[in-house]
Structure 1
């Protein structure tokens, strides 16, 4: 609190200049009136008090103005000093600029009322034209600085409001940027996992088979599958790296997978899953010529792709079935795979696959479930994807 009451250096200069100016005027005998009640050096008392109040007009505007009114009235009982009057106008101005919002609203109206009352009082007391001059002088001393203070305060408040709006706009822009970067990173993470994980899982499984079985034919078949998946995975990696390196702000032209490519995807799955006695079938119930939004087709394709990858890792020997059902406003994707007792996965996993599938469905506003359908039966992944605009995002790559 002590530091907050320390006067500003500008206020110190104003107080010193006002006090020295008043002393100079008094020394040369320049006064405002005769000073019948308190002649002589009494004029220096309100002068000194007003100069002292200048030190407080920023930190304690109400107290400075109230005491300044008393000092001004006392100055009228002496010979009067122009310096005292000028410093009082500064007190009125400061009380509006630095005071509370309520004081800033009330003081201008009070000065108007005081000026009108003074004008009427002088006219009724003196009954001369000179009384009007006294009333106008009171108005200049009070109304003019109060009005100036209102204009300055309004300008300052408008500038502060503009600064706050600019800061809020910058904050919102930064939040949007962070959200966009986060969403893009999540999208790229899903793409990397869904595209590359299947190839790497097949490589790991067949490499294990090649190392564990000392049969030339089996090893050759495993190495053939490893090479095919390596080449395909490398091509996908190059595509994604090209997207990341495109610094022009425009994405390079890429081919987005569609559900029409499911036959190729399942053919590759049959090749990868043959050593583990996995069979794959497709039950496509979309109907001929069915047109789906690109985000829905991509999400459905990636869900099937990731589910097949999980089947390579975890499914027991048997048949993996992919079903597609198209309704009026939705597409249902269902993948069931044999779910039996196994000592462990054929290839390590991070659990990000289910998370990525769930995120893709959530971005489209759909429903996703994954789990065993019955004990010792099948593991079922089911996704209901709306084909109308009700999702939270596009889900495109």
Structure 2
């Protein structure tokens, strides 16, 4: 699992670290840098899947859309290089430290530096605790970068328009070898940025039967229909369990049906009871509210993404009534723990922040702007010097609504 990510010269960040836990909440005002954090995670995912670094940033003409701002705004202006460092827990005794530096000079994305280190917690010598798995070095060959692998003095040439991890991960998959490449490559590959769009979820043509959920959750019905029957029943029962507490009317069942005669698409359905004693009413996605559909999209991602994944959800409570914030958090915690899925969410909603409670304070990060430089900074809420005083004034949601947290960060920066 990913433990932390460092952003250096990435978009609006000069140098800041995001700490990740089973459930991490990222808050901050508009233009504070929250979406730039999400874009950084999205880039880590796409650099494994895309044909090259350029496509990972800019997208392509077929299926891949570009990251916001594309290559032009990837590096902190007026510079043209950025660095991302990731600390990953491999097992109880070992971590992986991964670092990649990319140049966007002259409109071309190129690999400048990359390194993977295995760090052991065992009582060994300092040298044996840190094993360099591979390290990229510059070579005087156009379009290439040299790589030195563990226990080897020879230099292997790789293309500098793709990350080494992507090229090595592909090779490892072909030879069916596991190890560190596979661990890190699978982790980035399974990183999932989710933004359910209800209007897309209502279009049956979007819900072709497939195992992979789309980032906009448009194919929820198709994903549910693709599950083995026993798994499908279990997942739909869980969907129904949580959805039954969402609307005022009672949802008795949520399920998907394959649409004949071609059986290539599926339809999302639910049974609602509008009043006591009435027969259930069958409702399709067209009759479901935006909040219900977004909730369904998040639930489906939690229940169908591979175990060990990191799911990132921007504006997680968008369209959800404030009184259901507790239900949303309960769902994220319970299913995340059951399926070993970490979740990072962003929110502006005071009700959701209030529902967190004091025990979640260590897992709240605040994105804000450094008043002296203007660049984005990430700060743990528990690191605020004035936190005890602030909490005496009210809940986290109230403090955010009043702007007291941002005020404290600014005053803390101005202190000598």
Measured against the shorter chain, the TM-score band is under 0.3
TM-score by length of 1: 0.18
* Structure with more of its chain in strand, by fraction: 2
TM-score by length of 2: 0.18
* Structure with more of its chain in helix, by fraction: 1
Q: Which has the larger radius of gyration?
A: 1
> Could you say which structure has the greater relative contact order, defined with CA pairs below 8 angstroms and 6 or more residues apart?
2
